[in-house]
Structure 1
Amino acid sequence: MGLRIHFVVDPHGWCCMGLIVFVWLYNIVLIPKIVLFPHYEEGHIPGILIIIFYGISIFCLVALVRASITDPGRLPENPKIPHGEREFWELCNKCNLMRPKRSHHCSRCGHCVRRMDHHCPWINNCVGEDNHWLFLQLCFYTELLTCYALMFSFCHYYYFLPLKKRNLDLFVFRHELAIMRLAAFMGITMLVGITGLFYTQLIGIITVCQRTLQHILSPV
């Protein structure tokens, strides 16, 4: 089954997504300009590292778009309930529609979502049955890109040889320290947040799998 497109009209979510895109653009423009390209031109790093950086950046952006516009598992207004599964459905007291158990009503989106985990303002969408894996994919690529950028920022000051050719007339090199400090602050903040979120998501998945396995193996 293909992924269904889903848009949430929420100015608060748009602002949060805009902030994420700003952080992405800030790093994808300034990190190569200040660190990657100058060190490549002076022979300190191979070109493949720049290609990897842009590759991860593109994967991260694509994952963000897919997680934000994919239907998380929104229930239709008149769901068809299989005859043998009626006992596993219940009535939502907010939208007055029948829904499977473990579904939840999102007050921000205004509808019920199958196996809803939470509403994430950073993707302006719910995280549910149909896009949970895309959300985890986004967390993985974001953490990978953040670690990659922080690693190069550290190496730029403490490992690589000092750059011999820098055009101090350019704004980015005149204010390099302030720009890199802001990039490091955003990177560390995002790394801590994403790591905690990714960890709790994996723990939740493992817990659900354990309960399901216990239910299957338990004697009737």
Structure 2
Amino acid sequence: MGQRFHFVVDPQGWCCMGLIIFVWLYNTIFIPKVILFPHYEEGNISVVAVLCYYFCSLFCIASLFRASVADPGKLPANPKIPITEREYWELCNKCNMMRPKRSHHCSRCGHCVRRMDHHCPWINNCVGEDNHWLFLQLCFYTQILSSYTLILDFCHYYYFLPLKKENWDVFVFRHELALLRISAFMGLIILGGISRLFYSQLMGIFTYKKMSNCCETCKSRPQKPWQQTFSEVFGTHWKILWFIPFRQRQPLRIPYHFASRV
């Protein structure tokens, strides 16, 4: 599950995703060229700062591409419904297919998605059961990369020592201030927007956890801890793997006393 390639033909989504890639590419090229490499050569910053920036950039773009092409949880044309599970399925009034509860029909993709959260044009894909964890990683690493970029922009002018030699690239040297102002502007816009989105995603997960604990059928069961809820989203109990986009998610076997049919 979640290992199939999923591609949505949507020009609007292509434009939105292309804009995100442009911002990522801009900062990945110019920030090291204007700030990191010159200050590293003069001993103002360590190699760790350079490597951390590239690691954040790599994890950000990896989670973006994987979230955009991963199958969000598309239901097959003729799903096999076990007899014991039939009461938890319903008929979609748009595509006339049987689907489990908490599934929704996406008008852009043209099919139902298990535990669909929303259709995100910025990844040109739905956010569903099988790629929700990648979308959370994308929001997290985008915040880290944007914050790191803004800190470097600030330190370049107000904290780091002035460079002793000019940048070898004439274009970068002449337009350094404009390049960094554009970087700071894009960083502020993206950080503000993605922070709000990430907060809403976390609140959505905690709200579902609270509803699962408060439903009448679950009153006799022990309350589900937040670690269990996030483990179900990310497909693993190993918390360190929650931050790694280079893996395949497997559905987590939920203990019987935590199982929820809602």
> In structure 2, what is the Cα distance between the partners aligned to 1:56 and 1:34?
18
Quote the residue 1:20 is aligned against.
20
Whole-angstrom distance in 1 between the partners of 2:106 and 2:149: 35
Matched, 1:218 2:219: yes
Partners in 1 of 2:143 and 2:212 — Cα distance? 29
Q: Which amino acid aligns with 2:11?
A: P
1:29-55 CA-to-partner distances (Å, cap 9, x unmatched) read 000111011111111001111011111
Query: In the alignment, what sits opposite 1:124?
Result: 124
Q: For residue 202 of structure 1, what is the aligned residue in structure 2?
A: 202
Please state whether the residue corresponding to 2:135 is helix, strand or coil: helix
Provide the C-alpha distance between the structure 1 equivalents of 2:157 and 2:210, rounded to a whole number of angstroms: 46
Please state whether the residue corresponding to 1:105 is helix, strand or coil: strand
CA drift of 1:176 comes to 1.0
- Aligned partner of 1:174 in structure 2 is 174
Match of residue 148 from structure 1: 148
Q: How does 1:1-16 map to 2 (within 5 A)?
A: 1=1, 3-16=3-16
Counterpart of 1:189, as a letter, is I
Tell me which amino acid in the other structure corresponds to 2:219.
Answer: S
SS in 2 for 1:204: helix
TM-score calculated relative to the size of structure 1: 0.96
Matched-pair contact (CA < 8 Å) for 2:2–2:131: no
SS of equivalent residue, structure 1 residue 96: coil
Identity rate of aligned residues, in percent? 68
Report the alpha carbon displacement of residue 3 of structure 1 after superposing the two structures with TM.
2.0
Correspondence for 1:99: 99
Q: Distance in 2 between matches of 1:134 and 1:178?
A: 34
Quote the Cα distance in structure 1 between the aligned partners of 2:95 and 2:25.
Answer: 39
Counterpart CA distance in 2 for 1:167 and 1:37 is 10
Structure 1 pair 78–169 and aligned structure 2 pair: CA distance change class (3 A): closer
Following superposition, the deviation at residue 23 of structure 1 comes to 0.3
Match of 2:157 in 1: 157
Residue 142 of structure 1 and its aligned partner are, at CA, apart by: 0.8
**Other structure's SS at 1:203 match:** helix
Q: Does 1:37 align with 2:37?
A: yes
User: Do the aligned partners of 1:74 and 1:111 also contact (CA within 8 Å) in 2?
Assistant: yes
Compute the displacement of 1:210 (Å). 1.1
User: Residue 60 of structure 2 corresponds to which residue in structure 1?
Assistant: 60
In 2, distance between residues paired with 1:52 and 1:168? Answer: 24
2:193 aligns with 193
1:168 and 1:174 in contact (8 A); partners too: no
- 2: distance between equivalents of 1:146 and 1:4? 30
Between 83-92 and 126-135, report the one with greater CA deviation: 83-92
Question: Residue 219 of structure 1: CA displacement?
Answer: 5.0
Greater shift, 180-189 or 77-86, is seen at 77-86
Unaligned runs of 5+ in 2: 222-262
Q: Give 2:78's aligned amino acid.
A: N
Query: After the TM superposition, which parts of structure 1 deviate over 3 Å for at least 4 consecutive aligned residues?
Result: none
For structure 1, the 5+ residue unaligned runs are none
Closer, same or farther: CA 33–87 of 1 in aligned 2, 3 Å: same
> Partner of 1:48 in structure 2?
48
CA contact (8 A) 2:153 2:184 kept: yes
